[in-house]
Amino acid sequence: MINGTKVRLREKKLSDARDDYTWQTDSEMARLDATTALRISFEEYLVEYSYLLNHPAGVNRHFSVEIADGKHIGNCGYYNIDAEKGEAEMGIMIGDRSYWDRGYGTDAVRALLDHIFRETAMDRVHLKTLDWNFRAQRSFVKSGFKSCGYLSRDGNIFVLMEITRAQWQAQRIDRDGEAAKLRADRVAGQ
């Protein structure tokens, strides 16, 4: 279990399948992921989902994003891991729209970055997001990512973003300092 402030990240499980299927068959969600919505039955999806849970691909890591009461609201993970270069690609999707624009995605990204940089040898995490998805870009910037280029693929333009271990460490020091100042201000104000 990886804990954030608002969310926790946990290993995927079979009971996530219904939510994941709902999100992957949603055309708006697919558009945000620069893909097309799935067009298979839930039964077909469940067979494939079960197989992938029991036979994970390589060292990719996929997590469910849940809130304190255990409600599954999305997914995140890191993949395309290159151990030689010390880097991986990150992805996130908050599928439950009632949790959009409320800081849950940013918290999930921060929790996953904390996990990656504390528990692995990765020195760089990168991602791509559609150039028109400003909400996602704002969330990634809040988490410390910096724009590092553009990519055109399959008729889409993506903003490339990255964060290094050194940038993450500096950001953690800043956030920890801000938190300590807020605590001191609260104590002084009481």
* pLDDT, tens digit, 9 for 90 and up, residues 57-85: 777 899 999 999 999 999 999 999 999 99
Quote the CA–CA distance of 146 and 126 in Å, as a whole number. 9
Q: Are 103 and 67 in contact (CB under 8 A)?
A: no
Nearest CA among 105, 100, 101, 80 for reference residue 90:
80
pLDDT tops 70 at residue 176 = no
Alpha carbon separation from 160 to 92, 146, 152, 157 (Å, rounded): 14, 8, 10, 10
* Amino acid 185: pLDDT: 56
Residues 6+ apart with CB under 8 A from 144: 113, 163, 167, 168, 171
* Amino acid 188: pLDDT: 61
The stretch 167-181 carries a mean pLDDT of: 71
* Amino acid 190: pLDDT: 60
Q: Report the CATH number that the domain containing residue 169 is assigned in CATH.
A: 3.40.630.30
What is the span of the domain harbouring residue 109? 2-189
pLDDT tops 80 at residue 186 = no
* pLDDT, tens digit, 9 for 90 and up, residues 85-102: 999 999 999 999 999 999
pLDDT tops 60 at residue 37 = yes
| Number of separate domains in the chain | 1
**What pTM did the predictor assign?**
0.86
Q: Supply the DSSP string of 73-136, one letter for each residue.
A: EEEEEEEEEETTTTEEEEEEEE--GGGTTTTHHHHHHHHHHHHHHHHS---EEEEEEETT-HHH
Quote the CA–CA distance of 136 and 34 in Å, as a whole number. 13
